[in-house]
Amino acid sequence: MNQSLPDMWNQQFINDPYPAYRQLLAIEGAIHTEGVWMLCHHADVQAALRHPGLGTTQLDVDAALVAQYGLEPIVNARRHMMLFTNPPDHTRLRGLVSRAFTPRAVDRMRTAIEHLVLQLLDELDDGHIDLISRFAYPLPVTVIATMLGIPHDDLELFRRWSQPIAAFIAGSTETEADVWLRASDAAREMAGYFIVEARRRRAAPGDDLLTALAQAEDGGDRLSADELVANAILLLVAGHETTTNLIGNGMLSLLRHPQQLALLQQDPTLLGNAVEELLRYDSPVQYTERIALQDTTIGTAMIAEGETVQLFIGAANRDPQRYPDPDILDVQRADVRHLAFAHGAHFCLGAPLARLEARIAIGALLERAPRLALTDEPLVWRPNFALRGLVRLPLVIGRGG
């Protein structure tokens, strides 16, 4: 059956995609239209994410356009990011980077994250604040920048660079040419920065992730210069975008569900499960794509080689066939396993870090500033249908006592 695609470029969809998801989930099986498959049900999306017959998509851009508009920096960076590679390249790249993100390695960051969270909270005055710019953004970007060995004074540079690159990687609703041009300018500057820094790390190694990337070797295999730059960019951008949105979306959801927030305040042991439920309920990552490397069957979808497969992670996480009462936020939900960090070979490398940051951040925020409230200011969502996050989260903050 051919069905119309939802208009993902529409601001109404960006503001609240869940009514459209409910309509899609009411349709049995996969949806096929004009060489594109839409998978929305949890079982289908999960199966597609782990199926070796479906691979990540490479950007198809006319070479003349790349040359005309100077898009080489961002196109080249994307080509070498492990997020957009398939085995065996993906396996090799992930293996060279993954050691820094094991649960044990991440747990060593716990004390530093706790100190940073308390420092950021101490800097918040009672009254009106923007939780994104004052807390949800500076926490993860400082953590991943510290891991990479980037000086604190350079963080504002990376804020300026990372937003257009994230929009390019994930799909922005803004004019495509504008997004590409801004992303390419940012990638050019960012690449120059990392090339210089990697050269310094080889000459004078430090105890940081960029040194590890510069020296990474597995069976004689090293990262090429292009691979090092591309994946340093990816780690910095992905290392804070998802967590910023997790904290922002999560706090918004809790403030809109005061009974659930009260449960967390009364019983902090629920925090780990609550973070998983927040990831399910309003996932920071809503959408991804695959391409069929061969003829592949997923559920009712008989996908021909070369066809595009759209995976609606946000819909899968609200599938009533998988979750009882999926549109209800329940921090005590049993079996809250979700697809917010994807699944299979491309399961999010930074998931342990994002979970740790969110648990510490949300827990400390509820403890140190128990009187939080939304303001009447309208919420503005970033113009991106794949990465769901707020531009600002205006709150009124009050301390205990």
Report the alpha-carbon distance of residue 235 to residue 250 in Å, rounded: 22
Report the alpha-carbon distance of residue 213 to residue 349 in Å, rounded: 15
Which token pair is 204? 């004078």
Cβ proximity of 166 and 384 under 8 Å: yes
Q: Which of 59, 65, 68, 391 is nearest to 230 (CA)?
A: 59
> CA angle, 373 as apex, 369 and 378 as ends, to 5°?
135
Per DSSP, the three-state class of 223 is coil
Phi, psi of 41 (to 5 degrees): -75, 145
Report the alpha-carbon distance of residue 77 to residue 106 in Å, rounded: 26
Cβ proximity of 205 and 198 under 8 Å: no
Tracing tokens 């510069």 back to the chain, one arrives at: 214
What is the structure's pLDDT at 1?
47
pTM of the model: 0.92
What is the structure's pLDDT at 155?
85
Percent helix, strand and coil across the chain, each rounded to 5? 55, 10, 30
Q: Which fold has domain 58-282+343-398?
A: Cytochrome p450 (1.10.630)
* Sheet containing 371-374: order of strands: 127-130, 394-398, 371-374
Report the alpha-carbon distance of residue 140 to residue 7 in Å, rounded: 31
Distance of CA 38 to the CA centre of its chain: 21
The identity of residue 32, as a single letter, is H
Distance of CA 81 to the CA centre of its chain: 15
The identity of residue 147, as a single letter, is M
Give the CA distances from residue 240 to residues 146, 271, 351, in Å, rounded to whole numbers and listed in that order. 12, 21, 11
Q: Where are the domains of the chain?
A: 58-282+343-398
What is the structure's pLDDT at 64?
60
Looking from the CA of 394 toward its CB, the CA atoms found within 13 Å total 8
Report the alpha-carbon distance of residue 198 to residue 206 in Å, rounded: 11
Q: What is the DSSP letter of 225?
A: H
Cβ proximity of 278 and 250 under 8 Å: yes
Sign of CA dihedral 169, 174, 180, 186: negative
Q: Which of 48, 13, 21, 47 is nearest to 308 (CA)?
A: 48
Per DSSP, the three-state class of 240 is helix
Q: Which of 135, 380, 385 is nearest to 251 (CA)?
A: 135
What is the structure's pLDDT at 170?
67
> CA angle, 230 as apex, 207 and 240 as ends, to 5°?
65
What is the structure's pLDDT at 61?
58
What is the structure's pLDDT at 179?
78
The identity of residue 185, as a single letter, is D
401 residues of the chain, pLDDT tens digit each: 445 667 777 889 999 999 999 999 999 999 998 889 999 999 999 999 999 999 987 666 556 666 766 778 888 888 888 988 888 889 888 888 887 888 888 888 999 999 999 999 999 988 999 999 999 999 999 999 999 998 888 988 888 888 888 877 766 555 567 778 888 899 899 999 999 998 898 899 988 889 888 887 555 567 888 898 899 888 888 888 899 999 999 999 999 999 999 999 999 999 999 999 999 999 999 999 999 999 999 999 999 999 999 999 999 999 999 999 999 999 999 999 999 999 999 999 999 999 999 999 999 999 988 889 999 999 999 988 889 999 999 999 976 54
